[in-house]
Structure 1
Amino acid sequence: MQRTERLFALAEYLRGRRTGVTAETLAERFGVTVRTIYRDLDALRAAAMPVAAERGRGGGYALDRSYSLPPVNFTAREAALIVALGRFAIDMRLMPFSDTLESALDKVRAALSTSAQRELLTRLKELAFLGVPALPAKKTVREAIERAWFEQQPVRITYVDSNYLETTRDVRIMSVIMDRHETRIDAVELDKDERRPFRLDRITHAEVLRTAP
């Protein structure tokens, strides 16, 4: 990677994460020495990029939080891959957050020029992904699971196990796991403090529980 190309990539990397990242991590990410990263950061500062060093836990190099980022500009190639992968995730029912993903994909398309949008449509016709759709889940359940996960709130679920026994549980979602056949949430049951997976298609009802501020 040439230096000019690396500087652009480094700037984009810092744009994408406003938390601190160490020089050592950046050096490993771009395959250069730490000294080279220091020189690159100085070059970005000289180009009026407000890169600051943050101390303490979670510190490192980051863009100044008051810095207003310009709009993201996608090439037709980048947009085609993002849209195609997003559509695949929705069609295969892998993503429980399909409405949010659809909204994001619309914004990717809207960021393109007219000519780039035409190219995007052409490229999408030439991309195909095959797989086995995951089992369906209720829209209201998907919405509640999304909200609970992103807002880090507990959620009350009504769950039907493999013996068709229906129970109600209060859980906190730790992660979301997707494969070709099913989507699962890995969650901790609050009253038992036990961590276990729950299949999304077996959740018949979900309600976000607000915690005290």
Structure 2
Amino acid sequence: MNRTDRLYAITEELRRAARAGRTSGQLAAALEVSDRTIKRDVSALQQAGSPIWAQPGPGGGYVLDASASLPPVNFSPSQAVAVAVALAALPPGSPFAVDGAAARGKVFDALGPGDRERARDVAGRIWFETPTGAHPRAERRVLRVVEQALLLHLVLAIGYRDSAGRGTHRAVEPVLLARRDGRWFLVAWCRDRAAIRWFRLDRIGQADLMREHYPPRDVAEVGTPPADAAPVLAPTDDGPTLTPDRLRRGGPTERSC
């Protein structure tokens, strides 16, 4: 990372940290440089007019003034390449893949002509094995309806086929989407069972949005992600504390469907 990118990254880190701020040690660890380099870069930003304030004392650090905390609308070439790589690595049939492809285009469109050409050149120099869909995929229409239900907090009516081939109709409140053992699951509160249930997306034959909104449930009701999984965005440090009972409830079981 060159100095220009590093100065931008420091500003971004402080913007995301908001009033909590970041110490020079935290910034150094995040950007993989020395503490001394961070202090020199912050000083350069301050001299250039960036409203970065130092908080003295134990636990102190650097804080970016709230007036400068609006998210930027520009990306660096390396960030554009990172987005392209992440999206290209998605297995077929992944949730929000269609929106992801549109987002990738917007990210590249936001670059200047020179940066866009550089990003496209680098992206074309990254090869990896094409993800394969070894397992059945959800129908595209079903997937889009499930995505909307999760985004808008709308009750979802589904036609579901369990592992024995038995069909049922359920009214569910989506909580999250999870990928386990190569398959995607809708984890939802099932009104018929009055409990959290895991539904394999490829077994949902029909999905329709109902007009009823539901209050979003805490992800902690599902439990923590399995050892080989993690949220797309990590929870904040002040998130809910999970009890041992909640920890035991994570992951699909024989009663999932």
Given the two structures, how large is their TM-score scaled by the length of structure 2? 0.59
CA distance in 2, matches of 1:106, 1:173: 29
**Mapping of residues 74-85 of structure 1, within 5 Å:** 74-75=76-77, 77-85=78-86
CA distance in 1, matches of 2:195, 2:66: 40
Aligned to 2:177, what secondary structure does the other structure show? Answer: strand
Q: CA deviation digits over 1:40-89, x for unaligned, max 9?
A: 7xx86x945499xxxxxxxxx786489654422221x3212211221221
Residue 171 of structure 2: aligned partner: 170
Q: CA deviation digits over 1:104-154, x for unaligned, max 9?
A: 111011112333333333323322332432532222111111111122232
- Structure 1, unaligned stretches of length 5 or more? 52-60
CA distance in 2, matches of 1:144, 1:65: 38
Residue 124 of structure 1: aligned partner: 123
CA distance in 2, matches of 1:117, 1:12: 21
CA distance in 2, matches of 1:167, 1:189: 12
Residue 186 of structure 1: aligned partner: 187
Q: CA deviation digits over 1:149-196, x for unaligned, max 9?
A: 122232111111111111111112222112562111211112433112
Aligned to 1:154, what secondary structure does the other structure show? Answer: strand
Residue 204 of structure 2: aligned partner: 203
Change in CA separation of 1:120 and 1:153 when aligned onto 2, cut-off 3 Å: same
Runs of 4 or more above 6 Å deviation:
3-7, 24-27
Q: 2:75 aligns with which of 69, 73, 80?
A: 73
Q: Number of residues paired by the alignment?
A: 195
Change in CA separation of 1:8 and 1:165 when aligned onto 2, cut-off 3 Å: same
Do 1:156 and 1:169's aligned partners in 2 also have CA atoms closer than 8 Å?
A: yes
Residue 9 of structure 1: aligned partner: 9
- Structure 2, unaligned stretches of length 5 or more? 54-62, 216-257
CA distance in 2, matches of 1:191, 1:50: 54
CA distance in 2, matches of 1:212, 1:185: 16
Residue 56 of structure 1: aligned partner: none
Q: Compute the displacement of 1:202 (Å).
A: 0.9
**Mapping of residues 126-141 of structure 1, within 5 Å:** 126-130=125-129, 131-133=131-133, 134-141=135-142
Do 2:10 and 2:27's aligned partners in 1 also have CA atoms closer than 8 Å?
A: no
Matched AA of 2:166: L
Q: Compute the displacement of 1:30 (Å).
A: 5.4
CA distance in 1, matches of 2:176, 2:124: 33
Residue 101 of structure 1: aligned partner: 100
Aligned to 2:89, what secondary structure does the other structure show? Answer: helix
What CA RMSD, in Å, does the superposition of the two structures yield over aligned residues? 3.9
2:112 is equivalent to residue 110 of structure 1: no
CA distance in 2, matches of 1:73, 1:121: 13
CA distance in 2, matches of 1:71, 1:113: 12
Change in CA separation of 1:195 and 1:102 when aligned onto 2, cut-off 3 Å: same
Given the two structures, how large is their TM-score scaled by the length of structure 1? 0.70
Q: Which moved more, 1:176-185 or 1:146-155?
A: 176-185
Higher RCO (C-alpha under 8 Å, 6+ residues apart): 1
CA distance in 1, matches of 2:23, 2:203: 41
